Amino acid sequence: MDESPGKSLIALAVLLVGAGLIGWALGHVALCLLAALAIWLVFQGLEFRRFWRWARRPLSRPSNRSALWRAPTERLFRALGQSRIRSRNLLERLDRMRVINQALPDAAILINPAGQVTLYNEAAARLMELGPDNLGRNLVGHIRHPQLIALLEGKVPENLIEIPAPGPLDRRLEVRRIRIDRNDWLILARDVTQLNRLLTMRQDFVANVSHELRTPLTVIIGYLEALEDQTLDQDTVQQVVQKLYSPAHRMKALVDDLLLLTRLESSPVPMLSDLDPVNVPRLLRQLKTEAEQLSNGRHDIRIEADAELGLLGIDTELHSAFINLITNAIRYSPNGGQIWVRWYKTARGPCFEVQDEGVGIAPEHLTRITERFYRVDFGGARVRGGTGLGLAIVKHVLKRHDSALQVQSEPGAGSRFYTIFPAQRACSLSTAGHEDDLTDYHH
Ligand code: ADP
């Protein structure tokens, strides 16, 4: 519909020629020409009025009829439409940026050259306790920290500092200053409490492993030095060599546990559908033999297992977790103590539990005993032969089986370690032909 304005001029010319001819015929050329011009002007006036009305709200197509008006108004309409689309796109992008900015876990604060806060996101409100009152105010007035002042003044070489977060929680913030244009600065802050904790944990872990390996190694070196004595008789040499086994076994147990932990942490969790049922009652029977060897008749170990109850899981991992719990019950129970190992159905799912009448655990230690190398100090007799990794292994295995370790314990009265697996992991075992599996493993 983009007619050329030339057509309009041709129409005007035709109108004038026509009027001229009529005027010539009537003998009033000038009058007719004037009348034609007036008609044309009235028409253009109407067109202008149409344009004017349309221009007030240029959302629909312009309604001009004359090509002289139609072409430019159409072009204007199209340009307006495109600019509307562009602004809508820009607004959408701005909105997305705002949403992203608000969703960022890190605090972002815009600071003007006077050091005043001009904009901040949700995380800044949370991590740095900023509120609408802080807008237009100095950031250092809100967080008075010498390092932050130095950072904002540009006196920190890497533009990076670590300061305590405001508020009662013991959190640390890493704060960075970034120039965004000649006048404004962006202050980014992230919570590094967890990262610091992990770094400390890693350092502690290395220190602990070194310490745990150093102790048996020192013993081994001591015995080896003793063996260098040429005057030792054969029997003494034999005795010393025998003594080398214990620290060597201790080191091997530690390395085995470390490798197992690493494997548990790094290997992917198999899908439930890929797993075969584990015959837990049979596994417990096997564990009972191992436990009795360890206890050497010093404890009364009882196993009560639902013979038909199996579990979708990883056999070897469950073996490691269960033997660790049973070994602990033996290790932390006095001679003659009773230990119950139970495997039964509950409304929530299958439950495995180990109960002892041992030393128990004080409440302040309960939340920490699954940490690597965390041990309760039993008044000097700190180490009872474990690697300190047992419960960490249990925790990981159970996590890989969608469950968690629960502990009920009372110092002096004993402990109950248990876990309830999700009901969908339970499976029924065919007991036909396995008479012994049906029995309850009481003494
Ligand atoms: P460890 O090799 O020292 O036994 P674990 O990770 O298995 O390491 O256990 C961590 C700590 O938890 C133990 O050192 C012990 O203090 C405590 N603990 C674990 N099981 C028991 C239990 N059955 N009775 C009392 N204390 C226990």
Q: Which of 287, 369, 370 is nearest to 330 (CA)?
A: 287
Question: What tens digit of pLDDT does each residue of 259-311 get?
Answer: 999 999 999 998 888 898 999 999 999 999 999 999 999 999 999 999 999 99
Q: What is the pLDDT of residue 431?
A: 64
Give the domain ranges of the chain. Answer: 5-99, 104-191, 195-266, 272-428
> Rounded to an integer, what distance in angstroms lies between the CA atom of residue 20 and that of residue 14?
10
Residues with CB under 6 A from ligand 1: 324, 328-329, 331-332, 356, 358-361, 369, 374-376, 386-392, 415
Side-chain-side CA neighbours of 286 within 13 Å: the count stands at 13
> Rounded to an integer, what distance in angstroms lies between the CA atom of residue 172 and that of residue 200?
14
Q: What is the pLDDT of residue 442?
A: 38
Q: What is the pLDDT of residue 389?
A: 95
Q: What is the pLDDT of residue 8?
A: 77
Answering whether pTM is above 0.85, one says: no
Q: What is the pLDDT of residue 435?
A: 45
Ligand 1, atom 14: closest residue by C-alpha: 375
Higher pLDDT among residues 93 and 169, named by residue:
93
The answer on pLDDT for 434 being more than 80 is no
Reported for 213-221, long-range contacts at CB under 8 A and 24+ positions apart, including other chains, are 213/251, 213/254, 215/247, 216/246, 216/247, 216/248, 216/250, 216/251, 217/247, 217/251, 219/246, 219/247, 220/244, 220/247, 220/248
Q: What is the pLDDT of residue 64?
A: 85
Provide the CATH topology of domain 272-428.
Heat Shock Protein 90 (3.30.565)
> Rounded to an integer, what distance in angstroms lies between the CA atom of residue 104 and that of residue 419?
37
Output the CA torsion 196→200→205→207 (10° steps). 150
Q: What is the pLDDT of residue 18?
A: 93
Q: What is the pLDDT of residue 379?
A: 59
Mutate to test the pocket of ligand 1, among 331, 373, 409 (most ligand atoms within 8 A of CB): 331
Sign of CA dihedral 256, 257, 258, 260: positive
For residue 169, what pLDDT band results from cuts at 50, 70 and 90? confident
119 forms beta bridges with: 110
Q: How far is the CA of 83 from the centre of ligand 1 (A)?
A: 71
Exposed/middle/buried for 365, CB within 10 Å: 0-12, 13-18, 19+? middle
Task: Please give the CATH architecture assigned to the domain spanning 195-266.
Answer: Orthogonal Bundle (1.10)
- Cβ contact 187:108 at 8 Å: yes
> Rounded to an integer, what distance in angstroms lies between the CA atom of residue 105 and that of residue 436?
57
Higher pLDDT among residues 344 and 70, named by residue:
344
Q: How far is the CA of 379 from the centre of ligand 1 (A)?
A: 15
Q: How far is the CA of 387 from the centre of ligand 1 (A)?
A: 10
Percent of the chain having pLDDT more than 90?
A: 74
Q: What is the pLDDT of residue 72?
A: 87
Mutate to test the pocket of ligand 1, among 294, 356, 359, 369 (most ligand atoms within 8 A of CB): 369
Question: What tens digit of pLDDT does each residue of 90-130 get?
Answer: 999 999 998 998 888 999 999 998 889 999 999 999 999 99
> Rounded to an integer, what distance in angstroms lies between the CA atom of residue 108 and that of residue 126?
11
> Rounded to an integer, what distance in angstroms lies between the CA atom of residue 86 and that of residue 83?
5
Mutate to test the pocket of ligand 1, among 326, 332, 355, 406 (most ligand atoms within 8 A of CB): 332
Please identify which residue in the block is written with the tokens 């190694």: 217
Mean pLDDT over the full length of the chain: 90
> Rounded to an integer, what distance in angstroms lies between the CA atom of residue 307 and that of residue 280?
8
- Cβ contact 357:333 at 8 Å: yes
Q: What is the mean pLDDT of residues 180-186?
A: 88
Q: What is the mean pLDDT of residues 67-86?
A: 90
For 39, list phi and psi in degrees, rounded to 5.
Answer: -60, -45
Side-chain-side CA neighbours of 245 within 13 Å: the count stands at 5
What is the CATH code for 104-191?
3.30.450.20
Q: Which of 16-25, 34-43, 174-183, 430-439 has the lowest mean pLDDT?
A: 430-439
Question: What tens digit of pLDDT does each residue of 6-29 get?
Answer: 777 888 899 899 999 999 999 999
Q: Which of 128, 129, 187 is nearest to 154 (CA)?
A: 187
The answer on pLDDT for 438 being more than 70 is no
Q: How far is the CA of 328 from the centre of ligand 1 (A)?
A: 6
Q: How far is the CA of 375 from the centre of ligand 1 (A)?
A: 6
Q: Which atom of ligand 1 is nearest to the CA of 387?
A: 2
Question: What tens digit of pLDDT does each residue of 354-389 get?
Answer: 999 999 999 999 999 999 998 887 654 444 678 899
Q: What is the pLDDT of residue 441?
A: 38
Q: How far is the CA of 374 from the centre of ligand 1 (A)?
A: 8
